[in-house]
Amino acid sequence: MSDLWVTLTTARSGPPLWVVLLSALAALGVVSWSTSWQLSRGLITIAHEGGHALMALLTRRKLEGIRLHSDTSGVTLTRGRPRGPGMILTAAAGYVAPSLLGLGGAWLTSSGYVEVLIAIVIVLLFCMLLLIRNLFGVVSLLATGGAISAFTWYAEPDMDAALAYLAVWFLLLGGVRPIVELQRKRRYGRAPDSDADQLARLTFLPGGFWVFLFLVVAGACLVAGAYLLLPPAFKLSW
């Protein structure tokens, strides 16, 4: 346990600039290419539904369960007052959760605490697993957590860092695309029960405002996270 504590609390030096840029380009390619996006979008859905669940717990709503579907959609079921701040915050947390998680990951990764980030992700996946209420969701979380655990166990420390940078870039970039897709669906009337439209019914603000707010938060996280991920020497040169 003492060795584990030392590993978690010892900051390591960051990778060279080319690793940071290469991981960013790889994440951008995954998010931009339709085929790879459909295969990886479920990871963003996990973060999305996790955001709903966490906010529900923080606002003291009763969390009944989470379902993840094979079409990369998901639903988080809560019980409590049908209106009010708790319901509004819970509904608003989903689309911004991947970007906020990416920003937190960027801060930890840039500070050299890659192992802490990996440990937090595994713990969050385990906690979420306890709330899953369908078989596909269980398989998705077990596969994700198992892949991360196996990679970090067998890979060299430098490879752990590369994986962390790739994952953080994926969250920062992947947090933006679903918001753009949401507005496109709303424009053609294909998402009448989206989070933004639910928020419009809960508040006096239109759904378009909430989509814009989601996009502002995701964009700010992307800019701030990108700056954090740059090597210190490169930041000083600015």
Write out the DSSP string of 144-211.
HHHHHHHHHHHS-HHHHHHHHHHHHHHHHHHTTHHHHHHHHHHHTT--TTSHHHHHHHHSSS-HHHHH
Within a domain: 9: no
Within a domain: 156: yes
Tokens 């385990």 — which residue? Answer: 126
DSSP letters spanning the chain:
-HHHHHHHH---PPPPHHHHHHHHHHHHHHHHSHHHHHHHHHHHHHHHHHHHHHHHHHTTPEEEEEEE-TTS-EEEEEES-SSSHHHHHHHHHHHHHHHHHHHHHHHHHHTT-HHHHHHHHHHHHHHHHTTB-SHHHHHHHHHHHHHHHHHHHHS-HHHHHHHHHHHHHHHHHHTTHHHHHHHHHHHTT--TTSHHHHHHHHSSS-HHHHHHHHHHHHHHHHHHHHHHHS-HHHHHH-
Within a domain: 2: no
Within a domain: 1: no
pLDDT in tens, 119-139: 899 999 999 999 999 999 999
Within a domain: 55: yes
Residue 169: predicted pLDDT: 97
Minimum mean pLDDT range among 9-13, 35-39, 142-146: 9-13
What is the CA angle 172-137-191, rounded to 5? 65
CA distance 114 to 10: 10
Within a domain: 143: yes
Within a domain: 105: yes
Residue 238: predicted pLDDT: 52
pLDDT in tens, 30-53: 999 999 999 999 999 999 999 999
pLDDT in tens, 106-122: 999 988 888 889 989 99
pLDDT in tens, 75-108: 999 998 888 999 999 999 999 999 999 999 999 9
Task: Name the more confident of 88 and 237.
Answer: 88
Which pLDDT band, with edges at 50, 70 and 90, does 56 fall under? very high
pLDDT in tens, 198-228: 999 999 999 999 999 999 999 999 999 999 9
**How many structural domains does the chain have?**
1
pLDDT in tens, 153-199: 887 777 888 889 999 999 999 999 999 999 999 888 888 889 999 99
Residue 115: predicted pLDDT: 85
Q: Which amino acid is at 79?
A: R
What's the domain range around 103? 14-233
